[in-house]
Amino acid sequence: MRVVIAEDSGLLRQMLAEILTARGFLVIAEAATLPEVLQAVAADPPDVVVLDIRMPPTHRDEGLQAAERIRATHPSVGLLVLSHYAETSYAIRLLTAADQAVGYLVKDRVRDADRLVDAIKRVASGEVVVDPEVVQRVLTRPRATDPLAQLVPVERQVLGLMAEGHSNGAIAAQLNYSLKTIEKRVTSISQKLGLPHPESHERAHVNLRVLAVLAYLRSTRAPD
């Protein structure tokens, strides 16, 4: 699998490259700034781009800018954004720009090579991966209004696992339910959140899982 790494810290960039190379990935380019990563992807589009969320020139949201531009110009390239902070607003922005083959991880996760490699592989296969810490922040924050109030506890569990990027089969195994039961829960969640029915014509044009995850992340009004 071919990967581009965009990270302004030379030490972390080297560590990422070494981890991925040791796991059989081909790191075809490294970048330290927004212009550099855009140029690298344009010259030779990889399977996945690993992006630091804050890079030169402003150290604000260059990683998100890059993700948005790359998805617009190279929609088949997977995007994995790394951040020092579990900021729900960043995750929402990323998922709004890309509804598949996208991930958002807290940088501490890169110390766990297995977790990093798993996230990259899942993003490359078209899945959506959201850091569990982001999901936990949404679960524990007070809300002025809660669009999830109508969900029963098990539906909240299912939606939380969906937000982390788990498949229906993985959720069924983790919660010790049958796959059919989880599919029914997902349908119920979509109905309660006012999302398209999984079998509707409109469903063909949206990613129901990402819509549900966005509803989940947007359920908090507290600032990051």
pLDDT tens, N- to C-terminus, the chain (224 residues): 999 999 999 999 999 999 999 999 999 999 999 999 999 999 999 999 999 999 998 888 999 999 999 999 999 999 999 988 777 788 888 888 887 899 998 888 777 899 899 999 999 998 888 887 776 665 555 555 666 778 888 998 898 888 777 888 999 999 999 999 998 998 888 888 877 655 554 444 445 667 677 776 766 444 44
Q: Which two three-digit tokens encode residue 174?
A: 């983790």
pLDDT of residue 149: 79
Residue-wise DSSP of the chain: -EEEEE-S-HHHHHHHHHHHHHTT-EEEEEESSHHHHHHHHHHS--SEEEEESS-TTTSSSHHHHHHHHHHHH-TTSEEEEEESS--HHHHHHHHHH-SSSEEEEEGGGGGSHHHHHHHHHHHHTT-EEE-HHHHHHHHHS--SS-TTTTS-HHHHHHHHHHHTT--HHHHHHHHT--HHHHHHHHHHHHHHTTPPPTTSSGGGGS-HHHHHHHHHHTT--S--
Cis before residue 57, ω within 30 degrees of 0?
Answer: yes
pLDDT of residue 133: 78
pLDDT of residue 76: 95
pLDDT of residue 197: 58
Domains of the chain, start order: 2-130 (3.40.50.2300), 141-217 (1.10.10.10)
